[in-house]
Structure 1
Amino acid sequence: MVFTREKTLDRAELEAYWKEAPATLEGHPIKVLSGYGPHEVWEGESTEGVVIAEFPSMEAARAWYHSPAYQKAREHRVKGAVYRGILVEGTTPQD
């Protein structure tokens, strides 16, 4: 799962989200590979930050995203910033 923060709208709402979001991960098999680390945009519009998270399956990612706890926290995120969220299945490139 990849989330990019495109534009901050309300810093207080984002801070409320950041406070609530970690608790939503409890009981879900998630591994955060990168959380707002340094990044470079090589193509397309710039972005303020990137989060990359690994789940064992797309179903596991959906279970977390659609959980009542995350949906409650998400309300702050959508008020706080414009994000793009992408769920992508991990595959190995083939010739």
Structure 2
Amino acid sequence: MPAYLIVYRESPVRDAAELAEYSRQTREMAGGDWKLTPLVVYGAVHPLEGQAPDGVIMLQFPTIEDAKAWYESPAYQAALPHRQKAADYRAIFVEGL
């Protein structure tokens, strides 16, 4: 069953250098053995209900185990503090059908 990581940026970027470092580190991970498919990366947001986030990312993984392994990997955990310093985010895993 596929799983999705959905990340909402809830505020404008406050530290562009931190976000650039996060992006650099996660791009380096893309060449690895991770089974992920980017589906949404900061596309235009069209709110229907409630406040629109500043940005949205959605990654697809084959399973929730694959998603958790990627998120909990040493490489991603090293990159994560840079994203957290760059802006306010909310992140969730969702299992698909």
Q: Which residue of 1 aligns with 2:29?
A: 24
With normalisation by structure 1, the TM-score equals 0.89
8 Å Cα contact 2:39/2:60 also seen in 1: yes
Q: Which residue of 2 aligns with 1:3?
A: 7
The Cα shift of 1:9 comes to 2.5
The one of 88, 91, 97 equivalent to 1:82 is 88
Consecutive unaligned residues in structure 2, runs of 5 or more: none
Q: How many residues align?
A: 91
The one of 45, 48, 53 equivalent to 1:47 is 53
Q: Which residue of 2 aligns with 1:70?
A: 76
- Aligned to 1:52, what secondary structure does the other structure show? strand
- Aligned to 2:77, what secondary structure does the other structure show? helix
User: Equivalent pairs: percent with the same residue?
Assistant: 41
With normalisation by structure 2, the TM-score equals 0.87
- Aligned to 1:87, what secondary structure does the other structure show? strand
8 Å Cα contact 1:14/1:80 also seen in 2: yes
Structure 1 residue 57 corresponds to structure 2 residue 57: no
Structure 1 residue 13 corresponds to structure 2 residue 18: yes
Consecutive unaligned residues in structure 1, runs of 5 or more: none
Runs of 4+ in structure 1 over 3 Å off: none
